[in-house]
Amino acid sequence: LKVDCNGAKRDIRALWFSGRKLMMIDQRCLPHRVRVEEYRDHTEVATAIRDMVVRGAPSIGAAAAYGMCLAAMNDSDLLMAAKVLKAARPTANDLFFAVDHMLTRLSDGEDPVKAANAYADTIVNRCRTIGENGAPLITEGGRVMTHCNAGALATVDIGTALAPMRVAWEQGRKFFVYVSETRPRLQGMRLTAWELQNEGIPYAIIADSASGFYMRKGVDLIIVGADRITANGDFANKIGTYEKAVIAKALDIPFYVAAPISTFDLSLPTGDEIPIENRGEEEVIVIEGHAIAPAGATAFNPAFDVTPHEYVTGFITEAGILRPDEVRKIGGSDGE
Ligand code: MRU
């Protein structure tokens, strides 16, 4: 993740461990300020996940792994800590996967810092492989569309949906990215645009409602991330993903979902069982501190939607590109 820190270009992760502290970029301050916050115990980490200091399924998982590490270092009750961390947000599978992974490692007597660092490194390595597996889908002169932020910020480093773009760019291909703004929290406009700009990859931000317009004009490929993928190949991702997938199918545009194994939840048969987070209505009706709607207005704010498997061309994973009916093959793997 290339960032401009006080005028100097640095290559850092979205979160890392230093001394006895977890350091995390406060993603709510981007793109205008790179602010790094410090966390010393698991309750602070849980609050940071809930308040979206850190967001994106794999980054949430890594933050929770470090939260478990801090709980072990502080001699806190590990089962209680696991409960507190798992309650932070309901939809991303990586959160539960990472906490369970750490519980096993810690009960095996592993060093907490080594175990959490290994978890974060594994995610980054998997993202690199996702990038290599997905890059051939991006052709010279191609027009790619993405939604929300499934970049380095969302995955410790490199990204899932953005990983094939980074690799294709490194391989010297020229292409163009449509970035949908992603109301209400604007992860596309604030975070994905910032990451692409730092890499020098050409892009334009479009209003969410302009996606269909540009798809009709000519989009060659859509790549999004995922928060949870179920056994039948349905998946949850940021609200607004579903309508892109439906339009893509209507127009015969390949629609890919990039995600590591930690995002797959084969215990759920279909997407209907995925818990969908509802967030506060102020995220919809208050913009940068300004109330836009009439006083007393009501708003609904589901953070994710579920896209049925029939709209998915393939899942780009570290194990290769899988069709939805091949998702069950993923079963039985752990975090390392
Ligand atoms: O609410 P967020 O910002 O945590 O939602 C993130 C997304 O929906 C991403 O697209 C998804 O987590 C994939 S991140 C690699």
Going residue by residue through the chain (336 aa), what tens digit of pLDDT does each one get?
A: 888 777 777 889 999 999 999 999 999 999 999 999 999 999 999 999 999 999 999 999 999 999 999 999 999 999 999 999 999 999 999 999 999 999 999 999 999 999 999 999 999 999 999 999 999 999 999 999 999 999 999 999 999 999 999 999 999 999 999 999 999 999 999 999 999 999 999 999 999 999 999 999 999 999 999 999 999 999 999 999 999 999 999 999 999 999 999 999 999 999 999 999 999 999 999 998 999 999 999 999 999 999 999 999 999 999 999 999 999 988 755 544
Catalytic residue among 94, 157, 227, 265: 227
Q: What pTM was estimated for this model as a whole?
A: 0.97
64 Cα: distance to centroid of ligand 1 (angstroms): 15
Closest of 293, 281, 144 to residue 220, by C-alpha: 144
154 Cα: distance to centroid of ligand 1 (angstroms): 7
160 lines ligand 1 (CB under 6 A): yes
Distance CA 53, CA 34 (A): 12
187 lines ligand 1 (CB under 6 A): yes
Residue 260 · residue 317 · CB < 8 Å:
yes
Let me know if 334 is a catalytic residue: no
Residue 299 · residue 261 · CB < 8 Å:
no
Closest of 298, 263, 259, 304 to residue 281, by C-alpha: 298
The strand pair at 320-322 and 314-317 is best described as: antiparallel
Q: Which residue has the tokens 């797959």?
A: 264
Does residue 134 sit in helix, strand or coil? Answer: helix
Alpha helices in the chain (DSSP H): 42-50, 57-73, 78-86, 93-107, 112-134, 162-170, 187, 193-199, 211-218, 241-250, 282-285
Write the DSSP symbol of residue 6.
T
Q: Which atom of ligand 1 is nearest to the CA of 161?
A: 15
Does residue 278 sit in helix, strand or coil? Answer: strand
Does residue 188 sit in helix, strand or coil? Answer: helix
Does residue 114 sit in helix, strand or coil? Answer: helix
The strand pair at 2-5 and 8-11 is best described as: antiparallel
Distance CA 26, CA 39 (A): 12
237 Cα: distance to centroid of ligand 1 (angstroms): 6
Q: What single string gives the DSSP state of each residue in 286-316? A: EETTEE-SPTT-----BSEEEE-GGG-SEEE
Residue 160 · residue 177 · CB < 8 Å:
no
Which stretch of DSSP H or E encloses residue 332?
Answer: none
Q: Which pLDDT score is estimated for 235?
A: 98
61 lines ligand 1 (CB under 6 A): no
Residue 57 · residue 187 · CB < 8 Å:
no
Q: What single string gives the DSSP state of each residue in 231-246? A: TTS-EEEETTHHHHHH
